[in-house]
Chain A
């Protein structure tokens, strides 16, 4: 194998997470000499999707506390993932029937930080305008659910997705319907009514719903669910909630009746990152895994000199990378926002979670289940992103549930993790039980579900700095940084926005206005 030592580049990109990969896509036709490295042995960085054995190896490498753990290169910023533990419940015991067993380890594609993509996201249009969407297979996130009740009488209710759903919802009385409609109509063009809501923008969402729209608390759950906010309901302000509910409503029906969001098959954002890297490779970019940038010499005037983790030295005019992949001093006393995540492989299709949203429409492969806290005082909600086997995340007749909940800031103790893990476990158990009592679409029997159980689970902490300057110029702008993707359940437009502003600096204005707008490479027959 060749050595990189002494090579010279126009641009070195560090990290193959979503943001740096989209940046690689953006410069894939620039003609620049590009080296793209990742210190991981896999693509996708923090947004990677892993097979079962990769996930277990990953968990072993991230089992410790992020601050003490120095098992990999200390040159990198504090690691986002920590406290990982795997529990294999599948004992592979004799006579166990197949659906209850784990499949081949490579039949799994488990996303470390799954997100849904609203149909109106800027990423969707960018994938289309850059002709990369045809290489991806998108699937629908069909329904939002609220799970509540106790394990003995679980309750799963579908959240009305828009005004049509509200009309048809038999559980709502006329008054509730009217109030809900009033709210939904208001959200529809809330930007134009800023003078109406400016004075109550800081009210907690529940208070605003009650006082301004006459909605009794019983109807708040579904609307809070649509915000996908990890915060306690009373910590969500009206000003935060309005754009979130609006993005949901406005995305419904764009790509098919009744659903608002999509995600790429086979591991979600990891697949987008890889497609983006492929495009850069097609343009001549050189890819090296298992190699990170461990130090940067910024002597003014000269090209940057980078030391790679294998010991090689390369020079480059410019370095672009995500904050977690660059050897930059992290601004101290940054507050971190932390999620406890759980990935659960379940031994059943959970078909009640994936009802079709319209006749003859696509079969959803994803669903969102929100499990509000029932404790006193209320804790943060638990969000569960459910992927059916159609998502390519697991073998058929199984399901993957991605559960998460926010960890309160003031914590160092392990007990908090254990508590959060138990809450995730309980929420998953509640959802499993609730699907047993929900009649499935086709009225098919739930016999297969009576064996429903979790086969494998992985818990971990995922932390992201609370305030990341959207882009930081080191010195004279030869180093450009991309922030971490947020912990949100939905991909935020700012991810691509940050990529665009870094791109505009990196290409020095030559192609302004042509961000991710490419001619087709002529996939039909012309490979240049």
Chain B
């Protein structure tokens, strides 16, 4: 792996995923971490914790990812995940309009409650379900008409679209999309969010989201977070100019054996 060569400064970034149930949060993480996809991913219970490294030209970012449950029942869980998070990925499903409403709610809550410098990315997932308008969409075209028409038929249509993951490659193109690229993009611009449309199924744009977040984390908030990677922090830290480093590595305990070793007495 890349980190076996010359050591790059390494920093950890705490990232939280938020969004309505079944929009594909866990699937995005699974794609990013394992490059895998499960057509019938079960709902997340509570939350899940995963880590993945992201190599930038000049540094390594270790994402500590908290994937939360969209169907959280009492709205008491999310605060303990976004507290102190440096990045948040707010996900909606482009085939389900209500999921964007929920996403906006999360963005507002983050802006109100999370750390002031938090980097927020808005992600419209399940782009593969709208393959046909994908290209048009990427050219910044007027997908808006699809949204306007969608209002009266949301419920059943979008359910059907979300469940048709197996045989979706043809047929339900323009009707599948319920949130236009333009609408979401202009909202993201207004709120100063990173914005992507992705497919956890095809992998489209998934890596890009995380790289963009890694690049958007201000250097200043990485300063002093040079974790020096997990093992061998001593030498590693020395090599990477760890004067800025304030992180204590609990794995590096000297003298696990007896109370005498590494002790001044």
* Residues of A near any B CB (own CB < 8 A): 1-2, 4, 42-43, 103-104, 106-107, 109, 119-120, 124, 127-128, 133-135, 137-140, 161-165, 184-185, 187-188, 246, 249-256, 262, 265-266, 271, 274, 277-278, 280-290, 356, 360, 362-365, 390, 392, 396, 521, 523-528
The answer to whether A163 touches B255, judged by C-beta atoms less than 8 angstroms apart, is: no
The answer to whether B244 touches A249, judged by C-beta atoms less than 8 angstroms apart, is: no
Cβ of B105 < 8 Å from any Cβ of A?
no
Residues of A within 8 A of B244 (CB): 363
Q: Interface range on chain B: under 10, 10 to 19, 20 to 34, or 35 or more?
A: 35 or more
- Residue in A closest to B34 when the chains form the complex, CB atoms: A525
Residues of B within 8 A of A250 (CB): 259, 263, 265
The answer to whether B46 touches A128, judged by C-beta atoms less than 8 angstroms apart, is: no
10 A-B pairs with C-beta separation under 8 A: A1-B74, A106-B114, A280-B46, A283-B46, A288-B74, A362-B246, A521-B48, A525-B50, A525-B52, A528-B48
- Residue in B closest to A273 when the chains form the complex, CB atoms: B80
Name 14 extra pairs, CB < 8 A, besides A139-B247, A254-B262. Answer: A2-B73, A43-B79, A43-B80, A133-B250, A135-B64, A139-B246, A184-B264, A249-B263, A250-B263, A254-B255, A262-B250, A265-B247, A362-B246, A396-B220
The answer to whether A262 touches B248, judged by C-beta atoms less than 8 angstroms apart, is: yes
Cβ of B76 < 8 Å from any Cβ of A?
yes
Distance in Å from the Cβ of B19 to the closest Cβ of chain A? 16
Distance in Å from the Cβ of A182 to the closest Cβ of chain B? 12
Indicate which residue in A185, A283, A362 contacts B248 across the interface (CB closer than 8 Å): A362
Residues of B within 8 A of A128 (CB): 250-251
A278 to B64, CA, bound (A): 14
The answer to whether A362 touches B245, judged by C-beta atoms less than 8 angstroms apart, is: yes
Q: Which 6 A-B pairs have the closest CB atoms?
A: A162-B264, A281-B46, A188-B265, A253-B262, A527-B48, A289-B76
Cβ of B249 < 8 Å from any Cβ of A?
yes
* Residues of B near any A CB (own CB < 8 A): 12, 26, 29-30, 33-34, 44-52, 64, 66-67, 73-77, 79-81, 83-84, 113-116, 220, 224-225, 230, 237-238, 242-255, 259-260, 262-265
The answer to whether A120 touches B34, judged by C-beta atoms less than 8 angstroms apart, is: no
Distance in Å from the Cβ of B160 to the closest Cβ of chain A? 26
Indicate which residue in B12, B29, B83, B230 contacts A137 across the interface (CB closer than 8 Å): B12
- Residue in B closest to A181 when the chains form the complex, CB atoms: B265
Q: A284-B46, A523-B51 are in contact. Are A140 and B248 (CB under 8 A)?
A: yes
Residues of B within 8 A of A285 (CB): 46
Residues of B within 8 A of A290 (CB): 76
- Residue in B closest to A43 when the chains form the complex, CB atoms: B80
The answer to whether A255 touches B246, judged by C-beta atoms less than 8 angstroms apart, is: no
Residues of A within 8 A of B224 (CB): 363, 390
The answer to whether A162 touches B50, judged by C-beta atoms less than 8 angstroms apart, is: no
- Residue in B closest to A253 when the chains form the complex, CB atoms: B262
Distance in Å from the Cβ of A478 to the closest Cβ of chain B? 24
- Residue in A closest to B69 when the chains form the complex, CB atoms: A281
The answer to whether A1 touches B73, judged by C-beta atoms less than 8 angstroms apart, is: yes
The answer to whether A249 touches B74, judged by C-beta atoms less than 8 angstroms apart, is: no
- Residue in A closest to B75 when the chains form the complex, CB atoms: A1
Residues of B within 8 A of A365 (CB): 246
A335 to B230, CA, bound (A): 47
Residues of A within 8 A of B64 (CB): 134-135
Residues of A within 8 A of B34 (CB): 525-526
Distance in Å from the Cβ of B67 to the closest Cβ of chain A? 7
The answer to whether B248 touches A288, judged by C-beta atoms less than 8 angstroms apart, is: no
The answer to whether B265 touches A184, judged by C-beta atoms less than 8 angstroms apart, is: yes
Residues of A within 8 A of B66 (CB): 278
A523 to B62, CA, bound (A): 12
- Residue in A closest to B30 when the chains form the complex, CB atoms: A527
The answer to whether B51 touches A524, judged by C-beta atoms less than 8 angstroms apart, is: yes
A426 to B237, CA, bound (A): 39
Residues of A within 8 A of B260 (CB): 188
A93 to B124, CA, bound (A): 44
- Residue in B closest to A524 when the chains form the complex, CB atoms: B51
A396 to B222, CA, bound (A): 13
Residues of A within 8 A of B51 (CB): 134, 523-524
A40 to B77, CA, bound (A): 14
The answer to whether A282 touches B48, judged by C-beta atoms less than 8 angstroms apart, is: yes
Q: A254-B262, A390-B246, A523-B51 are in contact. Are A360 and B237 (CB under 8 A)?
A: yes
Distance in Å from the Cβ of A283 to the closest Cβ of chain B? 7
Distance in Å from the Cβ of B96 to the closest Cβ of chain A? 20
A389 to B42, CA, bound (A): 41
A164 to B263, CA, bound (A): 10
Residues of A within 8 A of B33 (CB): 524-525
- Residue in B closest to A255 when the chains form the complex, CB atoms: B248
Residues of A within 8 A of B50 (CB): 523-527
In this complex, which of B29, B79, B114, B264 has the most chain A Cβ atoms within 10 angstroms of its Cβ? B264
Residues of B within 8 A of A266 (CB): 83-84
A54 to B40, CA, bound (A): 42
Residues of A within 8 A of B29 (CB): 527
Indicate which residue in B115, B220, B249, B250 contacts A106 across the interface (CB closer than 8 Å): B115
Residues of B within 8 A of A390 (CB): 224, 246
A259 to B80, CA, bound (A): 30
- Residue in A closest to B259 when the chains form the complex, CB atoms: A250
